[in-house]
Structure 1
Amino acid sequence: MTELREFKRIFSRSLLFVDAPQHTRLRQVMNAGFKPAALQELAPQIQTIVTRLLDDVLAKAAVGTGQFAEFAQFDFMRDFARPLPALVIAGMLGIAAEDRSEFVAWSDDIAAFIGSPTPTLEIARRAQVSLIAMNEYFRQLLPLRRAALGDDLMSQLIRAEAGGGIITTKELLAQCCTLLFAGHETTRNLLGNGMLALLQHPQQWQALQAEPSLLPSALKELLRFDSPVQYTGRRLKVDVEMHGQIMKKGDLVIPLIGAANRDPAKFSDPDRLDIRRNEGAHLSFGYGPHVCIGATLTYLEAEIAMRSVMQRLPQLGLVGDTQSWGENAVYRSLNRLPLQFARPSPAAHVQTAEVHYA
């Protein structure tokens, strides 16, 4: 559709939608910002954001209606899971945190289009408007950033643009948009889906509280159990025969990630949540050359977030069966997740732990 040509033009330069050699070149430029050492330096900033968000939850509970009640309530998605990844990505790109609400709104519009098997023209137009706005935001920011380069990811991309033209300006802008969109969706859905799954399986939640060292294993299992991305699309580069079916070069195939993560040929009793499971890798971050570049960042954010929630919100639990789900077919995403927690004593304090992901 020619009306959506600008949407296609921007995303056609994204790391998500190109193959080698363009994909190899772009990924090499971006890899520096996602190496374990670089992400470990980011951990204190993530902890600061998590602490501030939980401070806000506790402060609202202290002055809210029913302040003398034993338990306080909040919406985990609205107050924590949605803002956290947007603020982290903003920090990585070196952009203003106060623009977070725009980032989230733009990402939601793009996700609604990508996640709809049969998007309406209205959904498609809204997605294009938001992607253009996101692209324009970064385009206007470029002169300021070129004049004051830092250690953030956007500065690294600008250096690659200037250093022999490893990437073009249009490619640079497309990668910034990709990071803002993709980094937000996966992490917030892991946090929401994972928290709901744990609280719906009290024995698993209690085991994790008793033994927080299980968090790395638990996060992998939560990603397998309820994948934030349920399916993806690929074009075949060669003819393929599978289970007696011939698929031709150029055919669109839809790998069902959520189904693969519950394949009984791969995982024993796959519909059971087991935070101690050790049966190989899930596919929630993809596989091969296009495996998610931000997977390690997602693990890091989620571990810091979950550990802090366990420490600061005692007796955390569901508020009945009041959660609500989005209707996006690609992204398994909660709109609301009301939770309750015991009001902490004035002497309560924050504990932190160093986290490591290779």
Structure 2
Amino acid sequence: MINREFLNDPYPAYRALHAAGPLHWNREFCGGAWLLVRHADVASVLRDPRFSVRRAGGWVNSSGLEARNELRAFKRIFARSILFLDAPRHARLRQIMSAGFKPAALQALIPQIQAIADGLLDQIIAGVQSGETETQGSFETTQFDFMHDFARPLPALVIAAMLGIDAADRNDFVAWSDDIAGFIGSPTPSIETARRAQAGLMAMSDYFRGLLAQRRLQPRNDLISQLIVAEADGGIATSKELLAQCCTLLFAGHETTRNLLGNGMLALLAHPRQWQLLQQTPSLLPSALKELLRFDSPVQYTGRRLKVDVEMHGRLMKKGELVIPLIGAANRDPAKFSAPDRLDITRNEGSHLSFGYGPHVCLGATLTYLEAEIALRSVMRRLPKLRLAGDVQSWGLNAVYRSLNQLPLRFECRSKTQASQEQVSHA
């Protein structure tokens, strides 16, 4: 199932799975897993306490016998992340970490996010990054890579600002995060993939050890300082637990937004009428973002481990077995959404599952919406004549995090000669 064709476009496979039934056993996921494709089933499992998120240890061990000893440090930090904790530990940590994502805290971020978006667009328009400019009559056409120049740096700079880390270290933590994502996104991770992920997580941990020491001496108005206060108050049990959550915030804080921006921009420009409708009616942006998340989810699936035997659709899933809720397939469920393979930014047919559901729904979902709305609104305003630069998109090799490596775009603006002539005429 997991091959280059699937990674480029998983939706034909999802259609086949929907047609074949609601529940499937597949041996390619960590030695065997149950695949769920229906929206109702995925939503049900994500809120069912019988399906545990505590799967980090088995995941690391699936890299082979050699991994059990070699990757102990990786497993210790990985397993402490809020992503892989059940209640009550999950609920305790979530309540503490959610302080940085409350409406007042996010509203205070808006000027920073806007400034970051404008700064990146200033660079694109100035052609100082990867742009190639051609003059055609009164207009200059500039090509740039949307992923490299905008979608990747924007959420990374935002999460850096939230955590109070140096934006100059962005390239380092994005590289570390990519190695961790490579492990998470592999149904059967190799020992080499796991080693890279461990190296990335260890480097990230070392970085935060130094930062935490600084903040204990000199607190700031940032999320790291808030977590240190929670540790002092006893809400965070150990320094190791605190370190794991810092790494989680840094890793998860930019991954989804980056992919939403890239996948969403491609979807809009590949459907010009939808892009034009959004430009003509910017008030549709909130519903458009929900539809873009549904249409091509940044996170394609997640995992759960069975605590007990569970029967579903007449089949017995046994305690200890892995269950894979296919979020990307659930978002294209024809029983939930009419014409599910059609992009419709006016759609109003219920919620997508791209941010999960139930107690583990994405902590940063509101931040992702906020970043994406500011970003797309800014792009529409600053680059109104935007289009795809041919059919040369490049998809990553990650089955979980659906992400573009490249998205070449072109935009038009007045040529310098034309602008100078207009200035002389006005003078």
The answer to whether the Cα contact below 8 Å between 1:107 and 1:184 also exists between their aligned partners in 2 is no
Indicate whether 1:54 and 2:121 are aligned: yes
Q: Which residue of 1 aligns with 2:176?
A: 106
Q: Equivalences for 1:197-346 in 2 at 5 Å?
A: 197-344=267-414
Does the residue aligned with 1:254 lie in a helix, a strand or coil?
Answer: strand
Cα distance in 2, alignment partners of residues 62 and 7 from structure 1: 36
The CA distance in 2 between the partners of 1:180 and 1:64, in whole Å, is 29
Does structure 2 retain, via aligned residues, the 8 Å contact 1:187–1:302?
yes
Alignment of structure 1 residues 102-181 onto 2, 5 Å: 102-164=172-234, 166-181=236-251
Matched, 1:17 2:84: yes
**TM-score using structure 2 length:** 0.79
* TM-aligned CA deviation for residue 64 of structure 1: 5.8
1:32-111 matches, cutoff 5 A: 32-60=99-127, 65-66=132-133, 68-69=135-136, 70-111=140-181
Q: Which structure 2 residue ranges, 5 or more long, are not aligned?
A: 1-67, 420-427
**Amino acid in structure 1 at the alignment position of 2:180:** I
Inter-CA distance 302–4: structure 2 relative to 1 (3 Å threshold):
same
Partners of 1:314 and 1:344 within 8 A in 2:
no
SS in 2 for 1:253: strand
Match for 1:159: what amino acid? Answer: V
- Whether the 8 Å contact between 2:215 and 2:225 is mirrored in structure 1 is yes
Amino acid at match of 1:274: D
Change in Cα spacing, 1:136 to 1:244, as seen in structure 2 (3 Å) is: same
What residue number does 1:30 align with?
97
Q: Contact (CA 8 Å) 1:313, 1:344: kept in 2 or not?
A: no
| 3-state SS of paired residue (1:68) | strand
Q: Which has the higher strand share?
A: 2
Q: 1:63 to 1:6 in 2, by over 3 A?
A: closer
**Partners in 2 of 1:187 and 1:282 — Cα distance?**
16
Q: CA deviation at 1:65?
A: 4.8
Contact 2:130 2:144 in 1 (8 A): no
Q: Give the Cα separation in 1 of the matches to 2:121 and 2:166.
A: 21
Q: How far apart are residue 115 of structure 1 and its match?
A: 0.5
Aligned length: 347
Superposed displacement of residue 61, structure 1? 6.2
Contact 2:164-2:222 within 8 A present in 1 as well: yes
Per-residue deviation, residues 171-211 of structure 1 (Å, max 9, x unmatched): 11111111111122111000000000000000000000001
Query: Which segments of structure 1 move beyond 6 Å, counting only runs of 4 or more?
Result: none
- Residue identity opposite 1:131 in structure 2: L
Percent sequence identity over aligned pairs: 76
Structure-2 residue corresponding to 1:189: 259
Pairwise CA distance, 1:165 = 5.2
User: Alpha-carbon deviation of 1:248?
Assistant: 2.1
Separation of aligned partners in 2, 1:312 and 1:331: 29
Q: Distance in 2 between matches of 1:313 and 1:65?
A: 16
**Which one has a bigger Cα radius of gyration?**
2
Tell whether the 8 Å contact from 1:226 to 1:258 is kept in structure 2 after alignment.
yes
Are 1:61 and 1:72, in contact at CA under 8 Å, matched by a contact in 2? no
- Cα drift, residue 2 of structure 1: 1.7
How far apart are residue 238 of structure 1 and its match?
3.1
1:2-35 Cα deviation digits (max 9, x unpaired): 2111111001111100011110110011011011
The TM-score with structure 1 as length reference comes to 0.94
